[in-house]
Amino acid sequence: MKTAKPKIIVILGPTASGKSALAVKLAKTFNGEIISADSRQIYKGLNIAANKITRKEMAGVKHYLLDVVYPNQEFNLYNWQKLAFQTIKKIITKKKLPIICGGTGLYICSILQNYDLHPTAPQLRECPYDFIILGLNPNRIILYERTNERAQKMIKDGSLTEVKKLYKKYPDKNLPALSGIGYKELIQYLDKKITLEQAIELIQKNTRHYAKRQMTWFRRMERQGIKIYWNLSLTDNKKLIKKFLQ
């Protein structure tokens, strides 16, 4: 008789769609712990402009794969996938529900499609888990309003001060960690190449483009036969998970 696979939940969507808040609510309902699938939030010191979840927003729910390495340390897909598999095992051992939450499609697919990241002959393998995917994709106008507001809020919350500290600490401005939206634009401002107003406008524009690329990736997942349950109410999400876990 075939052994049942461990079960995991995945929450995905473009930036500013409300993934983190949903993940926390579901983790509280289903005794879950959250694994971040975000290629910027792995870096220590990248907080405000990376929109890293705060201790308050975590609401007592354990989060993993945040603040993993310093910006000048190398970290790639192989490293993330290895840590994610280890973390899923750890959460399951604790008799809790692993919830992967994020917008980095490559990270998410490395688990769901179990990428073999062998340096010379990579291939896809069967996923070692049963999974269900909940997607958030707000109306484009609402999403763009949120991303615009978020850029303004980041500046108010101190992202410029954060980037100034990173700017002083890490002389190499070409580090992958500093190429993220909210960092590269403010570095251009600190280099006196653009005004602060132009930097904010660029952050807003680049965030919109990034959200489009994220959705392109998620649509590609669907074309590959991966089912995503989009924009369900909190009640319907809970019903779906409850049925899935039975």
CATH number at residue 112: 3.40.50.300
Task: Check residue 18 and give its pLDDT.
Answer: 92
CB–CB of 95/58 below 8 Å? Answer: no
DSSP strand pairing (32-36 vs 7-12): unpaired
d(CA 65, CA 87): 9
d(CA 133, CA 50): 23
Task: Check residue 16 and give its pLDDT.
Answer: 87
d(CA 86, CA 73): 20
Query: Which structural domain, as residue segments, surrounds residue 157?
Result: 142-209
Whether residues 158 and 88 fall in one domain: no
Instruction: Return the CATH number at 155.
Output: 1.10.287.890
- Within a domain: residue 1? no
Residues linked to residue 102 through DSSP beta bridges, in sequence order: 12
Task: Check residue 173 and give its pLDDT.
Answer: 83
The structure's pTM equals 0.93
The DSSP call for residue 179 is: G
Task: Check residue 40 and give its pLDDT.
Answer: 92
- Within a domain: residue 108? yes
Task: Check residue 106 and give its pLDDT.
Answer: 95
Task: Check residue 174 and give its pLDDT.
Answer: 87
Residues linked to residue 112 through DSSP beta bridges, in sequence order: none
Token pair 């590609």 in the structure block, residue: 220
Whether residues 115 and 14 fall in one domain: yes
Task: Check residue 119 and give its pLDDT.
Answer: 65
Whether residues 235 and 166 fall in one domain: no
Average pLDDT, 10 consecutive residues per value, the chain (246 residues):
87 94 98 96 93 94 97 93 97 98 96 85 83 95 91 93 93 89 94 96 94 96 96 97 96
Whether residues 105 and 174 fall in one domain: no
- Within a domain: residue 2? no
Q: Which amino acid is at 156?
A: K
Whether residues 28 and 100 fall in one domain: yes
Whether residues 127 and 18 fall in one domain: yes
d(CA 121, CA 176): 25
Domain tally, the chain: 2
Whether residues 90 and 59 fall in one domain: yes
Whether residues 52 and 76 fall in one domain: yes
Whether residues 159 and 87 fall in one domain: no
Whether residues 113 and 55 fall in one domain: yes
CA angle 163, 52, 147 (to 5 degrees): 80
